[in-house]
């Protein structure tokens, strides 16, 4: 069984305050995340090894966006997101 069988996958946009490294202006940016939430029960056809993996599985988010453009009208330069984790576990 594959890992994707243990999770329901959706995409979400979350707002974060980030600072542009070029101009130094902070701003509100919408960052796209792929959210993988653990299913309520073990999928059908799972053996003992799959049940053990399912018990250890946790809900998590993976950042989809790697670059954003500055919101400052005078700057507008693209920059890489280095201030946010690329993977975050969810506590539910």
26-31 contacts at long range (C-beta below 8 A, 24 or more positions apart) = 27/70, 27/71, 27/72, 28/71, 29/68, 29/71, 31/63, 31/64, 31/65, 31/68, 31/81, 31/84
pLDDT in tens, 3-54: 888 999 999 999 999 999 999 999 999 999 999 999 998 888 888 998 899 9
pLDDT in tens, 26-36: 999 999 999 99
User: Based on C-alpha coordinates, what's the Rg of the chain?
Assistant: 18
Tell me how many domains the chain contains.
1
pTM over 0.85: no
Tell me which residue range forms the domain holding 20: 3-89
Sign of the four-CA dihedral 77, 16, 39, 11: negative
């Amino acid at each position: 069984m594959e890992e994707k069988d243990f999770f329901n996958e959706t995409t979400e946009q979350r707002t974060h305050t980030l600072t542009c490294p070029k101009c130094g202006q902070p701003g509100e940016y919408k960052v796209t995340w792929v959210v993988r939430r653990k299913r309520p029960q073990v999928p059908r056809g799972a053996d003992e090894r799959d049940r053990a993996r399912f018990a250890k599985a946790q809900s998590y988010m993976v950042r989809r966006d790697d670059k954003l453009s500055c919101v400052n009208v005078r700057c507008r330069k693209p920059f890489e997101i280095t201030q946010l984790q690329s993977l975050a576990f969810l506590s539910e």
